[in-house]
Amino acid sequence: MPTMTYLQAISDAMRQEMRHDERVFVMGEDIGVFGGAFKVTDGFIEEFGPDRVMDTPLAESGIIGTAVGAAVVGLRPICEMQFADFISCGFDQLVNVAGKMYYRQGLPVNITVRLPSGGGFSGGPYHSQNPEAWFMHAPGMKVVAPSTAEDAKGLLVSAVRDRNPVVFLEHKHLYRRVKGEVPDGLYETPFTARVAREGTDLTVFAYGAMVHTAMEATEDLDGASVEVVDLRSLVPLDEEAILASVRKTSKALIVDEANETCAAGAQVAALIADRGFEDLDGPVRRVATPDIPIPFSPPLEQAVLPSVDRVKEAARELLEY
């Protein structure tokens, strides 16, 4: 199998799916001639032409609205928001139109919205957000967030083929830092959790970039056997996998880069408290980002984002409980 970066895997998924299915096209700001802000679509316009690689105006609402119309007549658009933060400008079209179209009119809206998300590169308050919880609250959409190159490709293929609107969180900090073996050809990865590392003493639940933080923080933690569960999909949430791991280890630590109030990690904690309470041997602990804008300053940014040291400290406290 070839080795790819996280970014290359996402690019490969789109390129191969566009070759496989001519209904698939991509649209977004600067994705054509320029190849995208992060070069994910570099070379696409030369291969597929401007009708399938559409440079759009600076208008997220227009991008999502156009995609909804295209999906209703049978196409499969992939929309790129240059940064996840800018999805707020297309919120109404995504949440109130795309998310409710099937319920209202019986029309499936097969669109995939790619959101380059997350901090860790001093992007400041307008280029570093993790807005996944916004869409977990909104009916009619699926929300996925891969942590590995293999899953980034497989989950994106699954998203493009899913008949529901799918919000695809791709963490910018992983683009060129994470690489791994990625199968050739097209394959679909299910919207379920995966066990990134087996363990018996404690479970750490994470997704996206925080999977790697969790893995590093608990790799050698005073001899403890720590399980790491990569959620991968936030909607649907793999509740059985979460509860099975809690039954196994009896202790749960949740690591979530998003703002802590009503975040994905809060939903996991509520699930465990509701349906896994009898299996617990300690409180459910969380490491998340405070509810403040992400600072530009690199030291301040590192202070507010979940770090390896913060995860280690929380894991040790829970193991000793």
Query: Residue 173 is which amino acid?
Result: H
* DSSP class of 121: S
Query: What are phi and psi for residue 27, nearest 5 degrees?
Result: -150, 145
Show contacts of 124-129: CB within 8 Å, 24+ apart: 124/293, 124/294, 124/295, 124/296, 125/293, 125/294, 125/295, 125/296, 126/83, 126/85, 127/83, 127/85, 128/85, 128/294, 128/301, 129/84, 129/85, 129/294
Tally of CB atoms within 10 A around 110: 25
User: Alpha-carbon distance 133 to 123, whole Å?
Assistant: 20
Q: Which listed residue (127, 171, 173, 212) is catalytic?
A: 127
Q: Which two tokens stand for residue 292?
A: 């403040």
Helix, strand, coil abundance in the chain, percent, nearest 5: 40, 20, 40
Radius of gyration (C-alpha) of the chain in whole angstroms: 19
What count of Cα atoms within 13 Å lies in the side-chain half-sphere of residue 61? 5
Task: Determine if the peptide bond prior to 236 is cis (ω within 30°).
Answer: yes
Pick from 224, 234, 279: which is nearest to 252 by CA? 279
Is 127 catalytic? The answer is: yes
**Residue that is written with structure tokens 């602990």 in the block:** 285
Residues acting as catalytic residues: 127
